Amino acid sequence: MDEVLEMLDKTTKRLQNLLEETKASTNKKAAAYAQVLQSPTATQEQKIKIFIARNSELDRIDRLSAQLSLLYSLQIFAFKVKVLEISINNINEQITKSDSTQKDGDLEDVKKNIDALKILVEAQYEAMKQIHEDQNKTLNYIY
């Protein structure tokens, strides 16, 4: 689980930096786009190209924001699973230290559920990574 949290943290930071760079780049281009769109000498073709480019950049910002939001949610979920795992391990240790020979079956069920949640978090992360890779492969021919 620690590896997943670390990978999520790295991915989130990288995506946050990419989003900030994309926003900065789009803001710089916005003034130039506005000048061309308002220019009386600009052809209709130039205006259409700029309109499409601007919308493409805004769509990219939206996609990056949505991905970042999903990563934040996944980080929160993974962190909560980690906290639950630690709590259950602490309870298990306390039961063991108290020389209780009778372990509660519910505790073992909770541990199994936490393991299932860990697998779910890891699978979700891998799925998001695959979607991102597929999206990049699909969109490369456009740029």
**CA–CA separation, 20 and 22 (whole Å):** 5
Residue 29: give the domain boundaries: 2-139
Check residue 21 and give its pLDDT.
Answer: 92
Mean pLDDT over the full length of the chain: 79
- Residue 6, both tokens: 């670390």
> What would the mean pLDDT of 3-14 be, rounded to a whole number?
85
The DSSP symbol for 23 reads H
Position 116, amino acid: A
pLDDT tens for 92-134 read 777 777 765 555 666 677 777 777 777 877 777 777 777 777 6
| Residue 40 pLDDT grade (very low, low, confident, very high; cuts 50, 70, 90) | confident
pLDDT tens for 50-74 read 888 888 888 888 888 888 888 888 8
Q: In the chain, how many domains are there?
A: 1
**CA–CA separation, 22 and 5 (whole Å):** 25
